[in-house]
Amino acid sequence: MKAFIQIAILVFLVGHTKAQTCCSGGVPVSSNLGFNHGQKGLLQMSLGADFNRLATLYDGSRSLVDELRLRTTQSYIIRAAYNISDRFGIEGFLPLIRQTRTILTNSGTEDFESTFGIGDPIAMLFYDVVSSPLNWRVAAGPQIPVGSFNEVNSRGLTLLEDLQPGSGAWDFILMSSLQYQSLGRPTMSLYLNGIVSVTGVNNKSRNGLQTYEFGDDLQLIAGVNDQFLVFSRIVNPGVSVRYRKASRDRINDIDGTGSGGEWLFTRLSVGIEFIKQSRLTFNYEVPVYTFVNETQLSPDRIININWSQSFDLKKSSDSQNLIKI
């Protein structure tokens, strides 16, 4: 919460991806929260697939020569948002998560672990403080501990917390989004988003033998996008940077080692509207700066594909009323 207060004062805005025990992957909430601003009755839905590959071992900011370890997080994401009024609405987020960990031994054998299941969903209320040409949205809500956190490996041993689909704790998500249009080109926009995850404590970790709390997480995302007409299709190219700072995880209320750090990523994206109000978006993200506590695996690429569709339910309802008349 302290981090949130500091950022709110500095930039007046507030993905939660998880800090990890042995690496810095996690569920890609930050790159998937938030829909476009809309009017009353607008329903927005999306399906996404996110692939996070962690293959670079870091000691602080120094990359190490190590080809024996590989982690991946594959997330399949269902999202929806509905504008109850022109300013107020709700948004939901449900991830299906597959995580893998591969370690090669000197003898050439492979130690492989994986989990798959429903992650922790998010339910948020949002409010559009200012609209057009400057749009400012604030949102807040819980991340609900639905996902499993007691998955075991083939030997019957409980897997590490960072391999579990769920966290076992109630978290609180704070988000703010600023978007400015009309930059000489009415189709171009600048945006600045902030997300803070204030994590809770899982008191039943390791079958109740310990408590576990993932580190609080702060992310700031700034970028620009535009629109062009290409062969009768609307194409949306964009570029952005993402800064993330994660605190250390805590085990039995003691700071854990090999968790937390700071990262700076760059992302290229392109979206194509293939039918009205329907869009397919591709994102490719790579780190340009990494600093981790102690030694951790860290992301070397993140790929995201997302399909979104908008429905104007108010317009549909008005049309039905006119027909009845």
Give 252-274 pLDDT, tens digit per residue.
999 999 999 999 999 999 999 98
- pLDDT digits (tens), the chain, 325 positions: 444 334 333 333 333 333 333 555 555 565 577 787 888 999 999 999 999 999 999 999 999 988 899 999 999 999 999 999 999 999 999 999 999 999 998 777 899 999 999 999 999 999 999 988 899 999 999 999 999 999 999 889 999 999 999 999 999 999 999 999 877 788 899 999 999 999 999 999 999 999 999 999 999 999 999 999 998 899 999 999 999 999 999 999 999 999 999 999 999 999 999 888 899 999 999 999 999 999 999 999 999 999 999 999 877 555 555 445 4
CA distances from 128 to 39, 125, 138 (A): 10, 10, 7
CATH number at residue 304: 2.40.128.130
For residue 311, how far is the Cα from the chain centroid? 24
pLDDT at res. 132: 81
DSSP secondary structure letter of residue 161: G
For residue 237, how far is the Cα from the chain centroid? 20
| Count of helices and strands (H, E) across the chain | 3, 19
- For residues 37 and 131, the answer to whether their CB atoms sit within 8 Å is yes
Query: Cis omega before residue 133 (within 30°)?
Result: yes
Q: For 62, phi and psi rounded to 5 degrees? A: -100, 125
Strand, helix or coil for residue 131:
coil
**Closest alpha carbon to 147 in 172, 167, 127:** 167
Number of structural domains found in the chain: 1
Give 18-55 pLDDT, tens digit per residue.
333 355 555 556 557 778 788 899 999 999 999 999 99
d(CA 279, CA 176): 23
If one counts every other C-beta atom within 10 angstroms of the C-beta of residue 153, the result is 16
pLDDT at res. 318: 55
- For residues 80 and 123, the answer to whether their CB atoms sit within 8 Å is no
- For residues 302 and 52, the answer to whether their CB atoms sit within 8 Å is yes
Residue 124: which residues within 8 A CB-CB, separation 6 or more?
A: 33, 90, 91, 92, 93, 139, 140, 141, 173, 175
Instruction: Give the domain extent around 117.
Output: 2-324
pLDDT at res. 14: 31
Q: In a 10 Å sphere around its CB, with 0-12 CB exposed, 13-18 middle and 19+ buried, how is residue 81 labelled?
A: buried
Q: For 319, phi and psi rounded to 5 degrees? A: -65, -40
